Amino acid sequence: MALLENMRIFVRVVDLGSLSAAGRNLRMSPAMVSHRIQQLETHLGVRLLNRTTRQLQPTETGLTFYQGCLEVLEAVERARSSIAAESGVPSGSLRVTAPLGFGRSLLAPLVPEFCATYPLVEVRLRLSDHLLDLLREGVDVALRMADLKDSSFVVRKIADLRRVLVASPAYLEARGRPREPADLAAHNCLLLRFPGTQQHQWTLIDRAGEAVKLPVAGRYDADDGDVLTGWVLAGQGIALKPLWEVAEPLARGALELVLPDFRPEPVTLAVLYPHRALVPAKVRAFADYLVPRIRASLDAISPDAML
C-alpha cells in the first residue's frame, strides 16, 4: 500500500508542478511529499523528477512512469468501485469543489449528514468562485453555476437558477432607478471577475422575450460573490445575483429589484464529475444524496411568490 500511495503522491506532484502545491492538495507538508518521492525513486532505482530552484519537471523516465501510474490508479479505483457497488457501501476520500456562497450556505450543512449516512467516505471540500481545473486538481465532484453545454464531464442538472438585478433603496434614491437596460451604463455595476478577465456583459431578457446583451462596468469588482453581496447591501451599486442568495434581504426590503421587467438569463446549477466507464460508488452516492436535498433547499429559499 505504501508503494501505491507514493505513486498517487507522484501523480499529484506532476499534475500540479510543485511539491508545495501537491502538499496542499494532499494535506501533507512539502518535506513529507519530497520524502515520499525520494522513497519511490529509491525503490525504482531511477530519478523521476528534475528539481531546480525555479521549477520541477519529470524526467523522460518519470513521464513514462507517470502514464503507468495513471493506469494503475484508475484500475485500483475501478476495482474499489466495483466492490463498493456490490457491497452497497461507498468508501474512500471524496474531493468536492463548489462556489463560495453556495458552498457555505447550501452544501456545507449537508456534508456531515452525508458522512453520517456513509461513514466510510471522507469528504474534502474546497470552496472557490474560480473555475478549478477538475482533472489537474484531482476533483471527484464539482458543483457549478455556469453554461455547461460544452462540458466534457458527466453533467447532472440540479436546477435552472433564477437571477435578478438588485440594489439597495439608498443607492437607488441617490443615483436613480434604471428604467431601461441602457440606463445601466450610468450606474456602478458590481461585477464578479477573475484575473485575466478583460470584459463583462450582462444578458437580459426583454419584454418580447429577446436576449439583450449589455456591456457593463463599475469602479471595482471582486472574485468573491459574498463580497459583492456585502457591497450591494452597503449601497455601493447594482449587482447580478442568484435569487436564492438575495431572497432574504429582498423580502425585508434591504434590497430592491432593478429592471424587474428585464430578467437576467438563468444559470444552470449542476453536479459534474469526470467521465468514467465505471463511476465510483462514492461519487454516485454523493450526487444521489445531494441533488434532491439542494432542490428542496432552493424551493424553500427562493420561491417566486415572495417577490
Average per-residue pLDDT for the chain: 85
The third-level CATH classification (topology) of the domain covering 163-265 is D-Maltodextrin-Binding Protein; domain 2 (3.40.190)
CB 272 within 8 A of CB 149: no
Rounded CA-CA distance 234/135 in Å is 38
Q: Give me the residue spans of the domains in the chain.
A: 1-87, 88-160+267-307, 163-265
Kindly state the average pLDDT of the residues 161-171: 95
Q: What is the CATH number assigned to the segment(s) 88-160+267-307?
A: 3.40.190.10
Same fold, 88-160+267-307 and 163-265: yes
Q: Considering Cα of 83, then 88, then 92, then 96, what sign does the dihedral take?
A: positive
Note the pLDDT tens digit of each residue in 190-206.
998 765 454 578 989 88
Q: How open is the CA angle 238-242-243, to the nearest 5 degrees?
A: 95
Considering only residues 174 and 129, tell me which one the structure prediction assigns the higher pLDDT: 174
**In which band, very low, low, confident or very high, does the pLDDT at 84 lie, cut at 50, 70 and 90?**
low
- pLDDT at residue 198, as a whole number: 47
Rounded CA-CA distance 148/131 in Å is 12
Note the pLDDT tens digit of each residue in 9-50.
898 888 888 888 888 877 788 889 989 999 999 998 999 998
* DSSP sequence for the chain: -HHHHHHHHHHHHHHHSSHHHHHHHHT--HHHHHHHHHHHHHHHTS--EEE-SS-EEE-HHHHHHHHHHHHHHHHHHHHHHHHHHHHT---EEEEEEE-HHHIIIIITTHHHHHHHHSTTEEEEEEE-SS---TTTTT-SEEEEES--TT-SSEEEEEEEEPEEEEE-HHHHHHH---SSGGGGGGS-EEEE--TT----EEEEE-TTS-EEEEE---S-EES-HHHHHHHHHTT--EEEEEHHHHHHHHHTTSSEESSTTSEEPPEEEEEEE---SS--HHHHHHHHHHHHHHHHHHHHH--GGG-
The third-level CATH classification (topology) of the domain covering 1-87 is Arc Repressor Mutant, subunit A (1.10.10)
Here the cell at position 299 is: 424551493
Candidates 265, 299, 280; CA nearest to 158 is 299
Q: Is the pLDDT of residue 177 over 90?
A: yes
Specify the amino acid at residue 96. V
Tell me the pTM. 0.69
